[in-house]
Amino acid sequence: MDVFIRNKRYTGPVQSVVLDWAGTAVDHGCIAPAAVFVDVFAQRDVAVTIEDARKFMGLAKKDHIRGMIGLPRVAAAWEEKYGRGPDETDVDSLYDRTAALMVETIANHCDPIEGVVETIDNLRGRGIKIGSCTGYVDEMIEVLVPRAKERGYHPDAVVCSSDVPAGRPYPWMCYANAIQLETYPMEAMVKVGDTIADIQEGLNAGMWTVGITRTGNEMGLTSQEVAALAPEALNLRLETIRNRFKAAGAHFILDSTADLLPVIEEINQRLKSGELPLNG
């Protein structure tokens, strides 16, 4: 491996791509985790919506739960039911049930998103390594990884939120990928994800970031549900998501990870000219 010394700008090509899992590589619409959070709160007789659950997607699952119980409407409903506000004991209880249900649900949402396997094969053919990171924890990813591999998707590195000191938007999972993939500098890496937290994570790690709209959490629909939308409605929803990702600082915004190859070519050209993945 050629040694890059940090006394000049990196002008080589992209070396590694790090993908989120649900909504980016598998599980079109990020269906599995959103449904579980709604079910878990319902079991405690506190009603939450799919929209409540999707607000915090991409975070480590305990942080996700903390975000949901911090919503004023959810906190008020909790206090009405239990006579007090939710606390860390409740977070632990909700998390334990979430983990159990998530393992069961993930097993039914392991299919790669259309075109992703072919795109990953193409990237590997160019010598690019494939990493992955997720808000899932060990027992969840242990279910997902082998089932996705059976269906053709198998990254070279797998890092989850329980492997590092803190999940997104901290950069630790991206750094762990860099170590496992033996890739540096960080501007030689690309982070691909379907949530604001993914984009923040990639930016914090010093990587190029790509936001995924149509197949991900922000859209929140299966491929069949997307196909059933009227073109005007679909375009409006996509534009709203693009604006959110742009405001978050994403370098590139795509409908699907399957569309990634031209972006890699553009990043290579930017790197060649000495550009860094900095915003602002």
State pLDDT tens for residues 125-144: 999 999 999 988 888 899 99
Adjacent-strand bridge partners of 96: none
Return phi, psi of residue 264, to 5°: -60, -40
In a 13 Å sphere around the CA of 147, the CA atoms on its Cβ side amount to 19
Q: pTM of the entire structure? A: 0.88
CB 34 within 8 A of CB 217: yes
Return phi, psi of residue 193, to 5°: -160, 170
Catalogue the E-assigned strands of 106-240. Answer: 129-134, 159-160, 189-193, 208-212
Q: Which pLDDT tens digit goes with each residue over 206-241?
A: 999 999 999 999 999 999 999 999 999 999 999 999
Look at residue 99 in the predicted model and tell me its pLDDT.
Answer: 87
Q: How many whole angstroms separate alpha carbon 259 and alpha carbon 117?
A: 12
Q: Which pLDDT tens digit goes with each residue over 56-113?
A: 988 888 999 999 999 999 999 999 999 999 999 999 999 999 988 888 888 888 999 9
Look at residue 125 in the predicted model and tell me its pLDDT.
Answer: 97
Residue 54, number of CB atoms within 10 A of its CB: 20
Q: Which two tokens stand for residue 200?
A: 């923040």
Q: Which pLDDT tens digit goes with each residue over 175-217?
A: 999 999 999 999 999 999 999 999 999 999 999 999 999 999 9
Is residue 96 classed as helix, strand or coil in its secondary structure? helix
The domain segmentation of the chain, as residue ranges, is 16-30+111-272, 32-106
Look at residue 104 in the predicted model and tell me its pLDDT.
Answer: 85
Q: How many whole angstroms separate alpha carbon 82 and alpha carbon 80?
A: 6
Confidence bin at 278 (pLDDT 50/70/90): confident
Top CATH class, 32-106 = mainly alpha
- Strand pairing report for 16-19 and 129-134: parallel
Q: How many whole angstroms separate alpha carbon 167 and alpha carbon 3?
A: 29
- CA-closest candidate to residue 21, choices 190, 216, 183: 216
Do 16-30+111-272 and 32-106 share a fold? no
Q: How many whole angstroms separate alpha carbon 220 and alpha carbon 235?
A: 14
CB 137 within 8 A of CB 130: no
Active-site annotation, residues: 20, 61
Considering the domain delimited by 16-30+111-272, tell me its CATH architecture: 3-Layer(aba) Sandwich (3.40)
